[in-house]
Amino acid sequence: MKIIDFRSDTITKPTEEMRKAMYLAEVGDDVYEEDPTVKKLEEIGANLVGKEDALFVPSGTMGNQLALLAHTERGQEIILEEKSHIFMFEVGGLAFISGLQSKTIKGHKGIMCASDIERAIRVNNIHFPQTGLICLENTHNMAGGVITPIELMRKVYEIGLNYKIPIHLDGARVFNAAVGLGVDVKEITKYSDSVMFCLSKGLCAPVGSLLAGDKKFIEKARKYRKMLGGGMRQAGIIAAAGIVALENMIDRLEEDHYNNRLLAEKLININGIQIDMDTVQTNILMIDIVNKNYNADTVISLLKENGIYVSKISDYKIRFVTHMYISKEDILYTAKIMKDILE
């Protein structure tokens, strides 16, 4: 039976071009900053997002946590959306690693209001923690791949400048946002002081993310990377795949977006499914099961029997993520099976 895996775009495997590049990669010791392939990847990544420098890290979570460490001091507070990845899915690292307190804001479909962010900034008071960082997420995972509008990012960046508070962008899927908006990614990332973006999701690289910012910030993050065990040696073997990802895999994200919308348009016509079509913007689809005879667990189990893997978000919510290894034919087959199950 063929497996159609919608659980995440992290399940993508490296392309043949990536595998060849990894085999042929020139390597050195990256802790000594002597791996030429890593250095090339970091240069390409920094230039793509319009930053002075970049740092290759094993994962997006590490990249985000390094940004928190490099931007803040222990005992400070950071502002972030209540369902953001940094708050929900990084094992409490902001508190455990950086000693930070969270000030969460309820967003509308994952998007915080600029005025709410400004109101959340702490005034100078001996009883309060100091606001040390504002974090944004683009696209927003738990909102269903929603794109944070550029105008909102501009407003938040200006707030940061006014209060002298840095802005970090969790841009795990920022290239999906750029493709979705039809803009150069720099039009998004210019409104942040630092940005983390993943190579191992829709871009298909097997390992790694990049953290980008100014040189002083990256120098600090590099030292913290070593402290957290992220200093890799002949990392050019995996960095080579990241170069292919950035050079050849960004534009094709549009195909994932097309397939995601096609899936949404097919599923919304099935009795027992509700979809907020306003959130269908990139490659993530959230559906609500409203047939009283089913919940997420039962639907997921029945889909799995038919070779379709999806993720449970809550008792009645399921997530689909499209990627390079999901075809139009897979979308049509999945819609048929969902219809058979629920109707």
Quote the CA–CA distance of 55 and 216 in Å, as a whole number. 12
Quote the CA–CA distance of 85 and 137 in Å, as a whole number. 8
CA-based nearest residue to 250, from 178, 144, 327, 322: 178
pLDDT at site 117: 98
pLDDT at site 343: 85
Q: How confident is the model at residue 279 (pLDDT cuts 50, 70, 90)?
A: very high
Containing 311, the helix (H) or strand (E) segment is strand 311-314
Residue 53 phi, psi dihedral angles, 5° rounding = -150, 165
Residue 318 phi, psi dihedral angles, 5° rounding = -125, 145
Contacts of 151 (CB under 8 A, 6+ apart): none
Q: What is the mean pLDDT of residues 297-312?
A: 98
Q: Are 82 and 255 in contact (CB under 8 A)?
A: no
Q: Are 322 and 334 in contact (CB under 8 A)?
A: no
Percent share of the chain, pLDDT over 90: 99
Statement: residue 17 has pLDDT above 90 = yes
**Alpha-carbon distances, residue 268 vs 6, 108, 271 (angstroms):** 17, 22, 8
pLDDT at site 269: 95
pLDDT at site 144: 97
Residue 208 phi, psi dihedral angles, 5° rounding = 110, 155
As a whole number, the mean pLDDT across the chain is: 97
Q: What is the mean pLDDT of residues 119-138?
A: 97
Containing 274, the helix (H) or strand (E) segment is strand 273-274
Q: Residue 10 class from Cβ within 10 Å (0-12 exposed, 13-18 middle, 19+ buried)? A: middle
pLDDT in tens, 227-247: 999 999 999 999 999 999 999
Quote the CA–CA distance of 190 and 180 in Å, as a whole number. 17
pLDDT in tens, 250-266: 999 999 999 999 999 99
Q: Number of helices (H) and strands (E) in the chain: give both, helices first.
A: 14, 13
Containing 213, the helix (H) or strand (E) segment is strand 209-213
Tokens matching residue 343 = 């109707």
Identity of residue 95: A
Count of beta carbons in the 10 Å neighbourhood of residue 27: 18
Quote the CA–CA distance of 188 and 48 in Å, as a whole number. 11
Q: Using DSSP bridges, classify how beta strands 273-274 and 284-289 pair: parallel, antiparallel or unpaired.
A: antiparallel
Q: How confident is the model at residue 1 (pLDDT cuts 50, 70, 90)?
A: confident
CA-based nearest residue to 294, from 277, 275, 317: 317
Q: What is the mean pLDDT of residues 187-208?
A: 98
* Domains of the chain listed by start with CATH number: 11-248 (3.40.640.10), 252-342 (3.90.1150.10)
Statement: residue 292 has pLDDT above 90 = no
